[in-house]
Amino acid sequence: MQITRLVLTSLAFLSISLPSSGADDVQFVRRAVEKSTLNQPGTKPFHLKATVAPSFERDKGSNRNGEVEIWWVSPIEWRRDVRCSGFHQVAIVNGGKEWQKNEGDYFPDWLRNIAVVLVEPVPHVDDVLQKIRSANTTTIQGRKHFSWVTMASNGTVHKGIGAGLYVAQNGLLESSSTLGSSAWLREFKDFHGRKAPTKIDAGSPQVTATVLTLEDLGSVPADFFVAPPEPNSDLMRTEIVSEIDLRKNLISGEPVEWPSAKDGPLQGLLCAEIVVDRTGNVRDVGSVLSDNPALSETASKAIWAFHFKPYAVNGQPVQVISTITMAFKTARPPGTESFEAAAAYFERGRKTDFPAAAEKPTPYVLRASFQARTKAGDVEKGAYVDTFKNVEEWRREATIGKSRFVRAQHGEKRYLLAEGPDAPLLRLVLTILEPIPALDTFVESDWRIKRDTLASVPTIRVASGHESEKGEPDPEHFRGYWFDEAGNLIQTYSTSLETRRADFVEFSGVNVARKIQAFNAGKLALLLQVDELSPLGPISDKDFELKGHEWKRQFTAEVR
């Protein structure tokens, strides 16, 4: 059981990413979205009622409690009642007419988002489907993740904001995150062929919408969907606006006095999603995405202080969702030790420990054996062979029982072959042997660097993710790499999997660990021993080809 859990938990970090296949993925996502969308032609008329409350006890004081009730006949005929402390709206849409009665001058965006997602989990779906055509796709334990980047810009500097959606193994939409809309869907209920979520998590602080009622519409008063005859010119609308256009209305904001930072880059960019009300006041600031998280709190306070002229559409002030992008430049506190960037430690460790990454790599063959528990429950012996001719001709293969996992490259072509029930385990073996992440798979600002000691050995620790005040790593979100003073990687930690590397041997100027132990939750799960490392003899170029198994590397954690 231990090794099984090790493989499953590690797969979340070692997932394979590929470019989207275009039209096929668009149809796949379209079907997933349509299954959970109530607000579309063909849906049976319904009555829906939901409550909204903070998801966590720690956020009970956020005052994010509300109710949403919807009576729906078609996409152009419906009535909605939304309320929370300080705001109440009744909205009627009938044909080309819309009417609202609003009590309160600001529609809180956490509630607006929930009210929309309850019946339309992916607003502006056509725009999202256009993104799917070129999105990166990742399959993680049967779930398919589509991701892309939306650029934020103040007109001078640009910073990307991640967006995407998950489709579960059963074909249902699991989550969607775009500018102006974000939600996780769960506990689906069948409604005349639609799969409507009855629990929706969204926002920060996070709220959970709980659907109490989803039923056929039934009888309503004859004038229930008829807007009152008096004109309603003061409709409360929310629009997504480019930052450049919003900044044209900026009255006050910036420059910012940045505090010193003991860790992370001293110069970089940050951005955040914001909501501005109809008077021009900032009413919500999302999580700050920063090249140095130490400056996020300062940035958030500065953004809250921004003020704009009211933003108008067709002459009417509207609420606005946009971004704020800023550049920062700071310094280290006096007396603080300055470390190199995480990328520098990773690249030095890669060139120090792995013969394929040496400055002038020598062709070699490396053979190793390992013991691990297979899916059948038996502890078996497996084999690993790394055949390296040059940076464009190499093959890595792990086998155990009737399973094998192979990666190879011949010229510009890369290959991947996975077969047998224990292919995920074998894939993990390849990663354990070369665990340092590729530089194009992480953000420098995610990493913290400090001095540490392991078994009396002075080290530099490069880590990201959460850990307790006592320094205990969060099993699901912590990654750590420990390098000795010579630059050798001697220990790693990722998603509850710890590896220890020892018994180094020199080969062509590189120190290779001959013994690697992998522990899951403190228990030995895999033991690997390098049996041979020698210069490469004659070999055919065909050994680096896997016809029919071409593969394109993109945003995977491994370099090879």
What DSSP line would sit under 237-248, residue for residue?
-EEE--HHHHHT
Q: What is the pLDDT of residues 447-480, one digit of tens each?
A: 889 899 999 999 999 998 888 777 788 887 899 9
Do 106 and 199 lie in one domain? The reply is yes
Q: Is residue 166 part of a domain?
A: yes
Give the distance between the most distant pair of CA atoms in the chain.
89
CA distance 191 to 198: 11
Do 516 and 387 lie in one domain? The reply is yes
Share of the chain above pLDDT 90, in %: 76
Give a three-class secondary structure readout of 16-30.
EEEECCCHHHHHHHH
Q: What is the pLDDT of residues 66-116, one digit of tens each?
A: 999 999 999 999 999 999 999 999 999 998 889 999 999 999 999 999 999
Q: Is residue 223 part of a domain?
A: no
CB 433 within 8 A of CB 442: no
CA distance 44 to 72: 9
Supply the pLDDT for residue 271.
Answer: 95
Q: Is residue 313 part of a domain?
A: yes
Do 535 and 405 lie in one domain? The reply is yes
CATH number for 533 = 2.50.20
Q: Does the pLDDT at position 560 exceed 50?
A: yes
Count other C-beta atoms under 10 Å from residue 249's C-beta.
16
Q: Is residue 370 part of a domain?
A: yes
Q: Is residue 457 part of a domain?
A: yes
Do 310 and 197 lie in one domain? The reply is no
Closest to 118 in 3D by CA, of 200, 239, 187: 200
Task: Read off the pLDDT band of 362 (50, 70, 90).
Answer: very high
Question: 127-131, 337-341, 364-368: which has the minimum mean pLDDT?
Answer: 337-341
Q: Is residue 415 part of a domain?
A: yes
| Full residue range of the structural domain in which residue 531 is found | 342-551
CA distance 321 to 308: 13
Q: Is residue 224 part of a domain?
A: no
CA distance 4 to 281: 53
Do 85 and 164 lie in one domain? The reply is yes
Q: Tell me the DSSP string of 358-402.
A: SSSPPPEEEEEEEEEE-TTS-EEEEEEEEEEEETTEEEEEEEETT
Supply the pLDDT for residue 7.
Answer: 30
Do 315 and 452 lie in one domain? The reply is no
Higher pLDDT, 439 or 173: 173
Count of the separate structural domains present in the chain: 3
Do 107 and 246 lie in one domain? The reply is no
CA-CA-CA-CA torsion sign (212, 215, 221, 224): positive
Q: Does the pLDDT at position 381 exceed 70?
A: yes
Supply the pLDDT for residue 17.
Answer: 37
Q: Does the pLDDT at position 141 exceed 80?
A: no
For the segment 328-345, the average pLDDT, to the nearest whole number, is 88
Q: Is residue 545 part of a domain?
A: yes
For the segment 141-163, the average pLDDT, to the nearest whole number, is 90
What does pLDDT average to over the chain?
90
Q: What is the pLDDT of residues 406-446, one digit of tens each?
A: 999 999 999 999 999 999 999 999 999 999 998 877 778 78
Residue given tokens 């078996």 in the structure block: 380
